[in-house]
A and B are shown apart, each in its own frame.
Chain A
Amino acid sequence: MSKEDELSQIVKDFLVESNEGITTIIQSLTVLEKDPNNEDLVNEIYRAMHTIKGSSCFFQYSKLEKITHILENLLGAIRDDGEKLTSNKVDILLEGTDLIQSYLSTIESTSKEPEGDVESAIKQMETLSEKFGFTLSSDLVLSEKLSKTDLSMEEVVNSDTAPVVEFEKEVVLPEVNLAVEKAVEPEVKEAVSVDLVEPEVLIDLDEGKVTDNITKKKNAGSKVLDSVVRVNVSLLDKIMNVAGELVLNRNQILQFATENDDQDLIRLASQLDIITTELQSDIMTTRMQPVGMVLNKFERLVRDIAKQNNKKVELRIYGKETELDKTLLEAIKDPMTHIIRNSVDHGIELPEDRVKAGKKELGLLEVKAYHESGQVVIEIKDNGKGLSLDKIKAKALSSGVCSSEELSNMTNKQLQKLIFHPGLSTAEKVTSISGRGVGMDVVKNNVEKIGGHVDIDSVAGVGTTLTLKIPLTLAIIPALIVKGQEEFFAIPQNSILELVRIDDSSKQSIEYACDSEFLRLRSELIPIIRLNDLLQLGQENETLEEVQEDNFACKNIVIVNTEGRVYGIHVDDILDTQEIVVKSIGFHNKKESVFAGATIMGDGSVALILDILGVAQASQLQSGTNKEDVDLNDSKNALTDTQSFLLFNLERHSESIYAIPLVLVNRLEEFDSTQVEMIGSQKVVHYRGGIMPLIFTDEQINMKEKELRKNKVYNVFVVNLHKKLYGFVVENILDILELETNVDSSVVDQNNILGSFFHNKRAVTVLDIYSMIDSQEFTKQNQKDIVSEKRKESILVVEDSPMFRKMGVELLKDNGFTVIEAIDGQDGLLKLKENSAIDVVVSDIEMPNMNGFDMACEIKNTEATKHIPMIAVTTKFSDKDIQRGKDSGFKYYLEKFKKEDIISAINSVLQKAG
């Protein structure tokens, strides 16, 4: 193992390749001997030798290089100067090849060439040729030696004394025979370019022995060689296809097994399932290649373009080892090249402009590749001048892409995305590299062709980030199977946002405007396409009245997103998700771009795969709902804080829904009534080696106290507060809800309620866990004990949401800090002015009036406050945000109410300050 570790991948590749080359050479040589006039073979040998020489030179294996060079010269003479290939030449070549092989195995085991200087290698070759009775033409060897710049004069002189020169053509027969015998000895390794003797002389060379020799070498063979096999990609493709069929077959067997109640069959089927899955993933890995294969090429590209444009650019590549399917890797090469060119060509400014803008002269181009939720993400980020929105606008206007009215309604993000529009290039000057107006749209098309996604984010003056999201593989994808009339269709999972079911009881319904259908979903209007209508399934198209009539039946709607266009597909039925194997469908079907291909279902029938983009185009959803800004996959980037709530109700059949912030909840538990015990008047349970008080939530909000019922299972959520666990008893836990709504606290009529919000047109009451706990008798006792270790530091908590503010304040108070509250950035700055003694600032990012970033910048840039360490506590977690947070001066960037993290961050900044 250690040996392999020492060898870098690239050296291993070199070894594999060179050994392959040697195999080729040996094979071809033996054939060539029988057919000496075969020029193709000579060429082949020459090429193989040349490759080995080239790579030895690259790896600075100078001795190896020398040997191969000499052999190459010998071959060159045969190839170009029409010298005859005699069997003794073949011998020299074979011996020389053996010599190379022995060098290679030394390199493999020690990662170094064998001991000795370059001279010794040449000597070896010379001796070798002597043994065969050849004269290396002296000038050849000499020029060899001279050409090697690192050879000293002395060595050159030595070469004159070398025996080579003395050899002449008229070597006599007996000597030659002698030479042959010696040559077979393994340690005889030397050769050089040659002049032939009598061609027939050596015909009786003992070929067997030579071969023997080679075989031994091979057996001595090496780990690297044994562990690597080069396989033709087309074979891999074939294996992949067969594996795909196996997957299909497995699906069929699984389905069959579940239909038949045969235990053995089910067991075997599930085994087959496991094995197939494993096989499938292994086969996938064979096609995986590190993105470094593509990224590394950009070093040169960046250097060249930068030089051409007199720019200074540093390229940093991260995540080279991230792996991607080979075909996809090929597919992103061109788009990536284009993006990188663009970034260097007109992203990064000229050095003098950069200095003027207060940046470092050296521009930075970062390329990051990483895995994220089953996709490979490649980020190309420059710190250049960013996109100029004004220029984009002007260009869009002049090229008639948008009207000025449309432009004025666009968000910055939408404006930036215009660069993906055909015919827009903001480069003022058309260079050979970019600015011809074909570019980003092609990039986008290419990436989307392989199921990927491109996004751009640019801040004027700060830089531009392009993000490519690429699926890991194309061949097998998860998909949702839906039904339209009697036909099955597959919708690729990666374009599905959510599934919505509408029936009588739900408040949502499909609305109509000008014969089009819409679904109102969380205040978004989403156009609905009926699958049956689109594909003209079934009999006649239903009239609108009929459509409205069956409004009462339940409806299944698949909400999909393509290119930021969100729409719903109304299907008859939603079945399940499956790993499907994508098969292309013949050209007869190509114009039906609503289909991306076909797959074979568990029952052996064929199902068509819907092309979500094609469906949108076919339905002329040109404008659709442009939802570019609120990318649901990217909810962390949403403009407001998202908060998760645990929903529950308190009484059986109660209409009221209650909620608490999910961050407060430690665990959900169920306790049987027999487990509940009384300590005084307090109900408790034994929980995790301690006693946990149970708080009956409904009693807390002025509902009647209830008798402890027998034989009842209590649903309890456990809250960890003040370093103690509390169990809150509720009737039913309903759901977890993530939403961006702010809790409205204006209609609170009692202590234990924090506020309310509307969800699905129903009011949800948010309970105030803190006050409920505080109001407990036993807590008061408790708190006195805990807050004993008072600390002198005071902390400013800046947070707009009253609930989170309260949580933050409580948390810090628990830990003995003095806490000052502020409701937004401006208030935070004000409070800082008022209280000179603040030691740490803990702030939210998304706030009205002034956000966290701006406030932090302000604090950092003010003399009186710049020493105060700041910690961001937020739900915004994209890399971009984190970077921005760091840039703004936040020491830590933490997730909202990861309590331990926050406290340890505070402690750490305080220690540093102290």
Chain B
Amino acid sequence: MSAAENIDVSADTLQVCEFKIGQDFFGISVLNIQEIIKPQKITKVPLSDNYVKGLINLRGQIVTGLSLRTLFGLEEKSTEENMNVIVRHEDQLISFMVDKICDVQDLEKQDFQQTPDTISRKIAQYVSGVYKLEDRLLIILDINRLMNNNNDQQN
């Protein structure tokens, strides 16, 4: 992980896994991602926050599934077709449930731009910046902010 954390957007190139939530494209550094798995059977956790969709059995490990859609305040959608982006963070396995997995993108530094103010605050708090691609904007999510923010909410 330490290696992963050292890679920030200022490095010359960044490899991210691109995925789609709603109409927007997001990316997480590939170094943070353990694997991507197809929709799984999920066990609901009663009484939990609404973005905690439940628990997944990943080869005997328990993974907590978080819906980014819900976290970003977008309209709820059935979780059944969600792809799972599995991330290991401080010994916790987390699955970010996204609508669609796109591709791995090599991003050049010159395309980077700070988070535009117009992005909704609900999302902006997890974003480290955006990359201008030819036909779209790719929003880079910051794993640590996603995690820490959840911690805050918890407290």
Contact = CB atoms under 8 A, between A and B. Distances in A.
A535 B45 CA distance: 9
A598 B47 CA distance: 15
A606 B49 contact: no
B57 A585 contact: no
Interface in B25-81: 41-49, 52, 54-57, 59-62, 64, 66
Contact of B43 (A588, A594, A605): A605
A537 B45 CA distance: 10
Contacts of B150: 587-588
Contacts of A817: none
A487 interface: yes
Contacts of A583: 61-62
Contacts of B107: none
B43 A608 contact: yes
**Which 7 pairs from chain A and chain B are nearest by CB?**
A535-B46, A245-B60, A586-B64, A606-B43, A606-B55, A583-B62, A586-B92
Given A585-B64, A587-B151, A594 B47 contact: yes
B154 interface: yes
Contact of B64 (A248, A537, A589, A607): A589
B21 interface: no
A587 B154 contact: yes
B97 interface: no
Given A535-B47, A583-B61, A605-B41, 18 more contacts: A244-B60, A487-B44, A536-B46, A537-B46, A586-B64, A586-B93, A587-B92, A587-B150, A588-B48, A588-B49, A589-B48, A592-B48, A594-B47, A598-B43, A600-B60, A606-B54, A606-B62, A608-B45
Given A487-B44, A598-B55, A588 B154 contact: yes
Nearest to A531: B46
Nearest to A618: B47
* Residue from the set A487, A587, A604 with the largest chain B CB neighbour count within 10 Å: A587
B94 interface: yes
B43 to A, nearest CB: 4
Interface string B77-92: 0000000000000001
B57 A588 contact: no
Tier of interface size on chain A = 20 to 34
B86 to A, nearest CB: 12
B45 A604 contact: no
A667 interface: no
Contacts of A606: 42-43, 54-57, 62
A535 B62 CA distance: 20
Interface of A: 244-245, 248-249, 487, 535-537, 583-592, 594-595, 598, 600, 604-608
* Residue from the set B42, B44, B46, B66 with the largest chain A CB neighbour count within 10 Å: B46
Nearest to B63: A586
B43 A487 contact: yes
Contacts of A595: 45
18 contacts: A245-B59, A487-B44, A583-B61, A588-B64, A588-B150, A589-B48, A589-B64, A591-B154, A592-B45, A592-B46, A592-B47, A600-B57, A600-B60, A605-B43, A606-B43, A606-B54, A606-B62, A608-B46
Contacts of B47: 535-536, 592, 594
Given A586-B92, A588-B154, A604-B41, A598 B62 contact: yes
B45 A589 contact: yes
Contacts of B93: 586
Contacts of A607: 43
Nearest to B61: A583
A249 B94 CA distance: 22
Contacts of A605: 41, 43, 57
Contacts of A590: 154
A598 B55 CA distance: 9
A610 to B, nearest CB: 10
Contacts of A598: 43, 55, 62
B69 to A, nearest CB: 16
B151 A585 contact: no
A585 B42 CA distance: 14
Nearest to A599: B62
A248 B43 contact: no
A594 B46 CA distance: 9
B55 to A, nearest CB: 4
Contacts of A592: 45-48
B136 to A, nearest CB: 30
Contacts of A249: 60
Nearest to B66: A588
B46 A588 contact: no
A245 to B, nearest CB: 4
A80 B24 CA distance: 65
Contacts of A594: 46-47
A853 B151 CA distance: 59
A535 B47 CA distance: 6
A491 to B, nearest CB: 15
A591 B150 CA distance: 12
Nearest to B45: A589
Contacts of A586: 62, 64, 92-94
B54 to A, nearest CB: 8
B62 A585 contact: yes
Contacts of B55: 585, 598, 606, 608
Nearest to A604: B57
Contacts of B46: 487, 535-537, 592, 594, 608
Contact of A248 (B44, B60, B94): B60
A522 B81 CA distance: 51
B45 to A, nearest CB: 5
A540 to B, nearest CB: 15
A600 B62 contact: yes
A663 to B, nearest CB: 48
A600 B63 CA distance: 11
A56 to B, nearest CB: 41
A135 to B, nearest CB: 51
B128 to A, nearest CB: 21
A595 B54 CA distance: 13
A607 B47 CA distance: 15
Nearest to B56: A606
Contacts of A487: 43-44, 46
A535 B48 CA distance: 10
A714 B142 CA distance: 77
Contacts of B66: 588
A595 B64 CA distance: 14
Given A249-B60, A600-B60, A600-B62, A589 B43 contact: no
B38 to A, nearest CB: 15
A537 B92 CA distance: 26
A535 B64 CA distance: 18
Contacts of B49: 588
* Residue from the set A249, A590, A598, A607 with the largest chain B CB neighbour count within 10 Å: A598
A586 B53 CA distance: 12
B17 to A, nearest CB: 21
B151 to A, nearest CB: 6
A390 to B, nearest CB: 43
B109 to A, nearest CB: 34
Contacts of A600: 57, 60, 62
Nearest to B89: A586
A536 B45 CA distance: 10
Contacts of B60: 244-245, 248-249, 600
Contacts of B44: 487
